[in-house]
A = this chain, B = another copy of it.
């Protein structure tokens, strides 16, 4: 975890450091990500970074946490009041939240994505945790749907959840392939309205197919 000195930093400086670190880890492996380049871009001394974080792994862990928390925050905002929706509305909402996350924080999404594959300095369990947590959330929803009869009873909740999450996490790549929006471009302007409506269509089609796949 970051040392307390990091929290004492002026807001803009702290944010600048985070941004540069996110940029770097979104583009490279854990191993290939370069501390030197992060501090260079952020305009801080190399030693300073080691007063905020114990080491490279510490910084990386911090970013992974940032991914989880940001996603969680979006979830929380979306699901604040509505406790009980029909399943497919819940699903749509959830799906929509995660899609928004991909669109709003493409680099964070990429970091989380990279973390699930390939060796990393963190215990494997910790890494998969993120994905499994998401899957579990879907599993819960699906089981509720089965209880209300909205979903066919012969559906294996975990497998269905897995397909949903997979499609979702790959969606980002597909979107950029189809729309030409490169998630890696740093100063990517906002997507155009035309692109946004195309993205909207992509997500609805996906949801429709998956819905048909499991609906009763």
Using a CB–CB cutoff of 8 Å, the interface residues on chain A facing chain B are: 27-32, 110, 113-114, 116-119, 128, 131-132, 155-156, 158-160, 162-163, 165-167, 169-171, 173-174, 177-178, 184, 202, 205-206, 209-215
Contact = CB atoms under 8 A, between A and B. Distances in A.
Contact of A128 (B128, B155, B162, B177): B177
Assembly of this chain: how many copies? 4
14 contacts: A28-B29, A28-B31, A28-B119, A32-B32, A119-B184, A128-B177, A155-B209, A159-B205, A159-B206, A162-B167, A163-B206, A170-B170, A212-B213, A212-B215
Given A110-B117, A169-B170, A132 B163 contact: no
Contacts of A29: 28-29, 31-32, 118
A160 B212 CA distance: 12
A67 to B, nearest CB: 15
Contact of A213 (B27, B165, B184, B213): B213
A131 B177 CA distance: 11
Nearest to A175: B162
Contacts of A118: 27-29, 114
A125 to B, nearest CB: 10
